[in-house]
Amino acid sequence: MASKDKTTITFHSGILTIGGTVIEVAYKDAHIFFDFGSEYHPETPLPDEELQTLVAHRWIPELKNVYDPRLDYTYQGSETKEYQETAVFLSHAHLDHSKMINFLDPNIPMYTLKETKAILEVLNQKGDFLLPVPHEEKSFVRELIGLEPHDVIRVGEIKVEIIPVDHDAYGAAALLIRTPDHFIAYTGDLRLHGYHPERTKEFCQLAKHTDLLMMEGVSISFPEREPDPKAITVESETELIETFVRLVKENPQRQITFNGYPANVERFMALVEAAPRTVVLEAKQAALLKEIFNKDVPFYTIDDQVPATLDPAFAISYQALCADTSQYLWQAVAHFENLQTGGLYIHSDAQPLGDFDPAYQVFLDQLAALDIEFVRLPNSGHAKPADLDQIIAWIEPQRLVPIHTLKPENLVNPYGERILPQRGEKIILE
């Protein structure tokens, strides 16, 4: 059989880095891509975030006939093949998987679970989440086709099934990809210690004995990292919420604020339901919970711009929050200079994400100047090292490709071959 009739996989990006995964699976005259985010390098400021700039700095890859032709970009790669059918799939809403979706050619369909579609459309309402494009409004989100779990999309002779998994972004999914000659699995980002471990387990069952498993390995990237003295270690989302409750109860007469990653709507919802104080969210976050769960929660704004979906009866004045010491647990996202001296702030996987980001130390210094106690309360969205091994054991892949990790060599495959591709490498599945 000629190589053009075999399945090929090209690892455009997401190799030896965390995030920015763009992988292509091709068969005959059709190909698919997943995901469509950008690498994250806060330590390296760029002059702008235009397509050509990001490609030049290798934050996103060279791609032929995939980006919007209206953008200032000239393909300089080596690919010559023309395809009749193209599609892109998103595993979840985190920016390292979704940030550049507006750069995609509008004629190419993009598929994701309907929950991820809803999250992206709400989070970009102010145009400060996704990368913008010059020919659209800042709040523009390109067309997304929202899928139900286990929907199957056919692109040429490639079939893609979308499978929900447990992650700290609501609506996260893995992919099962079938071509006429191979069965391929892509984990997206996943874990076993969150709200829905049964979803990850079901994916493993469905991916059993896959010809090739592309698997994230974030947790094996930092074996030498020292524990953060400011962090409280928890083993599950349930324990995280219990710790939140304990911290609030231990500080009855103290301003308490917090922040988290916006796509982790289940954590926000659990906190609203469990906290001994009234939880007040920033308006955009409250709008996201309204969209996903159809639940009204107390909210505030600083600029008096209230999203149309929110009930004004649930509004709490920003001035009341700034003056409070006992009634509210509220989400602080900006203007930290307005917080009370001597308060408590709980950082639960919010931005800035960690000390690799220069903004993190600036943030800590700002709180320290106000004598605000900083407590980090994280719970990773990524499978622990032992759970990565368990997932591999459940799937028993013939080939394993560790991706989305700085240390791919730390992930082993006792059941077959392990492949460690280079960025841009194409492999032909025999």
Query: Per residue in 358-400, pLDDT tens?
Result: 889 999 999 999 999 999 999 999 999 999 999 999 999 999 9
Its pTM stands at 0.94
- Structural contact between residues 266 and 122, judged by C-beta atoms closer than 8 angstroms: no
pLDDT, tens only, 174-196:
999 999 999 999 999 999 999 99
Q: Average of pLDDT values for 415-421? A: 98
Q: Would 231 be classed as within a structural domain?
A: no
In a domain, 42, yes or no: yes
Position 54 scores a pLDDT of 95
Are both 56 and 202 inside the same structural domain? yes
Residue 205 forms part of a structural domain:
yes
Is residue 396 domain-shared with residue 305, that is, in the same domain? Answer: no
Q: Which residues pair with 281 in a beta bridge?
A: 299
Same domain, yes or no: 337 and 195: no
Instruction: Kindly state whether residue 229 falls inside one of the protein's structural domains.
Output: no
CATH, residue 102: 3.60.15.10
Q: Do residues 331 and 258 touch, judged by C-beta distance below 8 A?
A: yes
Span 296-319, mean pLDDT? Answer: 94
pLDDT of residue 4: 59
Could you tell me the sign of the dihedral formed by the alpha carbons of 129, 361, 14, 198, in that order?
negative
209 and 245 assigned to the same domain: no
**pLDDT for 231-246, tens place per residue?**
899 999 999 999 999 9
pLDDT confidence tier of residue 2, bands split at 50, 70 and 90: very low
d(CA 246, CA 24): 46
Indicate if 7 and 109 belong to the same structural domain: yes
Domain of 257, CATH number, reads 3.40.50.10710
Nearest C-alpha neighbor of 93 from the set 172, 161, 200, 13: 172
In a domain, 305, yes or no: yes
Residues 340 and 243 in one domain: yes
183 with 304, same domain: the answer is no
Task: Please tell me the predicted confidence (pLDDT) of residue 388.
Answer: 98
**Buried-state track 314-339, b at ≥16 Cβ within 10 A, e below 16:** bbbebeebbebeeebbbbbbeebeeb
Contacts 24+ apart (CB under 8 A), 247-254: 247/344, 247/346, 247/375, 247/377, 248/275, 248/276, 248/277, 248/329, 249/276, 251/344, 252/326, 253/325, 253/326, 254/325, 254/342, 254/343, 254/344
Q: Which pLDDT does position 224 carry in this prediction?
A: 62
Q: Supply the mean pLDDT for the chain.
A: 95
Could you tell me the CA-to-CA distances from 233 to 195, 374, 380 in Å, in that order? 17, 15, 10
Any domain includes 232 = no
Domain boundary among 360, 376, 392: 376
Q: Which residue has the higher pLDDT, 3 or 65?
A: 65
The domain tally of the chain equals: 2
- Residue 97 within any structural domain of the chain: yes
Is the separation of the CB atoms in 141 and 121 below 8 Å? yes
**Strand ordering across the sheet containing 426-428:** 145-147, 110-113, 85-89, 30-34, 22-27, 8-13, 426-428
**What is the model's pLDDT at position 323?**
98
In this prediction, residue 358 carries a pLDDT of 86
Q: Does pLDDT of 356 surpass 90?
A: no
Tell me the per-residue pLDDT of 46-79, one tens digit each, with 9 for 90 and over.
999 999 999 999 999 999 999 999 998 999 988 9
Would you state the pLDDT for residue 16? Answer: 94
Q: What is the mean pLDDT of residues 31-51?
A: 92
Looking at the fold, whether 10 and 141 belong to one and the same domain comes out as yes
Q: What pLDDT does 222 receive?
A: 79
In a domain, 300, yes or no: yes
- Note whether 179 and 249 are same-domain residues: no
Cα-based angle 198, 201, 206 (whole degrees, multiple of 5): 125
Quick: pLDDT tens for 109-168.
999 999 999 999 999 998 999 999 999 999 999 999 999 999 999 999 999 999 999 999
- Residues 414 and 279 both lie in one domain: no
Domain assignment of residue 176, given as a range: 3-222+382-428
Q: Are residues 105 and 213 in the same domain?
A: yes
Is it the case that residue 31 has pLDDT exceeding 50? yes
Q: Are residues 185 and 334 in the same domain?
A: no
Cβ 189 vs Cβ 172: under 8 Å: yes
| Cβ-proximal residues to 111 (8 Å cutoff; 6+ apart), any chain | 87, 88, 89, 90, 144, 145, 147, 153, 160, 162
